[in-house]
Each structure stands twice: as C-alpha cells, then as structure tokens.
Amino acid sequence: MSASTTDRAEALRRGRARRALAAGSVGNFIEWYEFGAYGYFATVIAANFFGGDGSGGGGAAAGAESLVKTYASFALAFFFRPVGAALFGRAGDRLGRRAALVAALLLMTGATTAIGLLPTHAVLGAAAPWVLTLVRVLQGLSAGGEFGGAVSLMTESAPPGRRGLYGAWQSFTVALGLLAGAGLAAALATGLGERALYGWGWRVPFLLALPLGLVALWLRLRLEETPSFRQARRGEDKLPAAGVTAASAAPRAEVVRAVALGTGRIMGWSAAGYTFLVVLPSYLQNTLGTTFSQALAATVLANLGFALSVLPAGALSDRVGRRPVMVTGAVLVVLLAFPLLRVVQSGTAGAPAKGLAVFAAGAAVGLMAGPGPAMLAEMFPARVRCTGLGLAYALANAVFSGCAGLVITGSLERTADADVPAYYTVVTCAISAAALLTLRGDDHRRALRD
C-alpha cells in the first residue's frame, strides 16, 4: 500500500472518529442541559405544578413539601433509565449504535419540548403533576438509552491510546449541558421579573430542546457503524443458531456481575455529581437562604470546576490508568466534603472562598467522571457493550443521582441537619473508592473486547 493511500485511509479514519465524537456528544449535551434545567428550576416547577399558583406571588417560594414532590418526579424519571438502557441498549447491540442513538434522541427531544408546552396546576389542577411526571418518564427512558450508545460509539471509534479522552467527552458535554442550563436559568432569573419567570420564563429552556435536537439528528443520521460492532455482528453471523444462543447465554452471569461492579464503581460519581452540580441551588436557597441568582452562580462555578477537570482526567487516565485517577477523585470527595460544605455554610467566609469551595467540589467529581465512560466500556464485550455499560450507568444514576434531591431535601426536612449533603457524598464515594481498587492497572492499554 502506497504512502498516499495510507494517508488517505488515516484521514478517513480520523474523520469518522471526529464525526462519532460530535454525534455522541451533542445528544449528551441536550440530555443533561434539560435535566440540569429541571433541577435548577426545581423551586419554580414546584410552584407551578405541585402546589402553587405559579404567579410569582404566593408560589414564588415553593414549600418544602412541593419541592419534595418535584424531586420525587425527578427521581421517578431516573428509575425508568434502566428500562431505557435495556431497551435501547439491546437495539444498539443488535441493530447498531446509530439506530439506537437516533431513536433515543427523537424521544428525548419530543419529551423535553413537551415540558415547555405543558399546562400548569392553575390550568389542569391536580392532573398537572401527573402529566409532568408522565413526560419525565419518557425522558427517563430515552436518557437510559443515550449513555450506552454514545459511550460505545465514542470509545469504539477512538484512536489507539485515546479511549479515555474520547470517553471523557461524554462527561465533558454533561458539564457543558449543565452549564448551559445554569447559565440560561441565571440569565432568565436576572433579566425577567419574578412574575414573568414563574409565569412563562421557565418554559424557555425546554422549548430550546427542539432546535438543538434537530441539529443532533442531522449529525447522527450521518454516522457510520463502528468497526467493533461490525466485527461482533460478523462473528455472530458465522455461528449456527444454536451457537448464537449458547454464546449469548454463557456470559450472562458474567455480564450481571460486571453491571453490579460497574454500578458500584460509579455510584460516588453519580451521587456527588448530582449533589454538587444539580441539587446545590435548591439546597442553598431552602437551607442557607441565598437568592435564586446567588445559588445559580455557585452552581455555575461548581460545573466550571467539573468541566475543566474532566478532559484532563480522561487524557491522564490514558497514560497512568483509570484506577489512580478515579480513586483520587473519590478519596478527595471523602476528605473534602465536610470542610468545603463548612465554607459554603459560613456566615463569615467571603464570596471568593465560597466560590473556590464549590469549584473544588466540582473538580473532584470531574476526576471520576473523566475516565468513567472508558472504564465502563472496557468492562463489556462488543456484543453486549451498549446494554451492559448503559445498565450500570443507569442503575447508578437511578439510585444515587435521581434520588439525591429527594434524599437530601427529605432528610433536611426531617433532621434539620445542614450537613446531609456531605454525609451522602462521603458514604457513596467511600464505597466507590473500594470498588475502583479492583480495577486492573493495565485496562487502559488493552484492546476493547470483541
């Protein structure tokens, strides 16, 4: 093969890898932009759907009971993520990563746009929260299928030695989505009066999902299937029907064990990520008495710390391994959660100190989130990769992310202990650190399993 032919082949491979990275990332951005927007507007949604008139008067400060109900709806959507991971993951492993990602995107875009159009409690009465919850369930299904397909696509398309960096883009676009949601929420809170914000302004972030989704759809329709998927399908096609059944049944127990272990390895990432990056605004408002704008500013700083650490953490894990980087992040959260929360709670600490505290918390989570997608992809063979890593991620998110707001808000209401967020993140990250120690030191150097 001539040098020019080799160069052209390499250029084509790099072009496919970049397209895969863009198509996988944009869907994650939309998903987490919306979930972030819902979390940041939790007090507004509580007033509009769960027990206020949404006028910005009596409903402006959502009561604790309404906020708990809002987070219950939030958690319910997360509990449908494993169902979505199984459904879309199976499609991704049988029909292709592209087909599963297009289907998940269409469902996510439609459901998110629908939230921006829903009538509130003032119009529908008691039916309003039920309709909202139904739409959230549809979002949970689509989000459950997004991660497995996107991470499989990005890691299988990555050049040699860059799987951690390519997988980290999933987490990086999570950060970008959360930052976009927080930034838009802060802009609306600053630019609109309270009555307008509670009346119609909260709808804007959800309606913007439609044009974003159309861009993502265009990118995903241009995708090619990954070499790993094509090779896995060719291998199955060569087996007789009985052989295919035996091959799929034999590793079932192994896959179940891997899903359980993967869930344990990322539970700290899930819990700490949602505590510091999404639940923080409601905690600051309802527990510490900050304003909506101040709470969102703190959240932007936490997400900025997360965003700035994710890609370097993924790239570093390609050099030194997933284990040392992720364990460092989990241990840092365990050691720093209480001291950082004390700074945020302090009545004497200045704004720079509090900003640095939430920034550091976000950066520690980023050390787990950067290598995390590649670590999960390396745990499963290609024929079950979408389903396996999607289920591990969805289960961790269902239990430890989706319930973060519900557990923290409910526990604060019952105990009045302002340290609840620290207890929650310390326990989950300690368990994750132990699970992460079981990683092999050379997983990052091994080829993905066929």
Q: Which domain CATH number covers 107? A: 1.20.1250.20
The end-to-end CA distance of the chain, in Å, is 27
Q: Among 221-225, 241-245, 377-381, 417-421, whose mean pLDDT is lowest?
A: 241-245
DSSP annotation of 109 reads H
Return the SS3 of 349: coil
State the pLDDT at residue 166: 93
Q: Which residue has the higher pLDDT, 63 or 231?
A: 231
Domain range holding 219?
16-223+250-444
Instruction: Tell me the mean pLDDT in the region 129-156.
Output: 87
Contact of 178 with 33, CB cutoff 8 Å: yes
Instruction: Tell me the mean pLDDT in the region 188-204.
Output: 83
Domain assignment present for 58: yes
Name the residue among 171, 108, 117, 114 with its Cα closest to residue 140: 108
Name the residue among 292, 253, 278 with its Cα closest to residue 384: 253
Domain assignment present for 244: no
Joined together, the tokens standing for residue 396 give 């961790």
For 54-71, letters b (16+ CB in 10 Å) and e give bebeebbbbbeebbbbbb
Is residue 149 pLDDT above 50, yes or no?
A: yes
CA distances from 307 to 5, 233, 367, 434 (A): 39, 36, 10, 25
Instruction: Tell me the mean pLDDT in the region 396-422.
Output: 78
CA distance 394 to 31: 13
Report H helices in 158-251.
163-191, 194-199, 204-207, 209-221, 227-237, 241-249
Domain assignment present for 11: no
Burial bucket for residue 127 (CB in 10 Å: 0-12, 13-18, 19+): exposed
Domain assignment present for 8: no
Name the residue among 66, 40, 182, 174 with its Cα closest to residue 120: 66
Domain assignment present for 240: no
State the pLDDT at residue 243: 46
35-39, 230-234, 421-425, 427-431: which is most confident: 427-431
CA distance 393 to 261: 11
32: Cα separation from own chain's centroid: 6
384: Cα separation from own chain's centroid: 21
Is residue 159 pLDDT above 60, yes or no?
A: yes
356: Cα separation from own chain's centroid: 23
Report the domain count for the chain.
1
CA distance 152 to 162: 14
Domain assignment present for 280: yes
Q: Which residue has the higher pLDDT, 309 or 40?
A: 309
State the pLDDT at residue 71: 62
Confidence label for 365 from pLDDT (cuts 50, 70 and 90): very high
Q: What is the pTM of this model?
A: 0.82
Report H helices in 56-162.
64-79, 81-94, 97-115, 121-124, 127-157
State the pLDDT at residue 335: 95
State the pLDDT at residue 58: 41
pLDDT tens track for 6-17: 556 566 677 777
Domain assignment present for 373: yes
Q: Which residue has the higher pLDDT, 378 or 447?
A: 378
In this structure, the chain runs to a length of: 450
Domain assignment present for 241: no
CA distance 286 to 61: 9
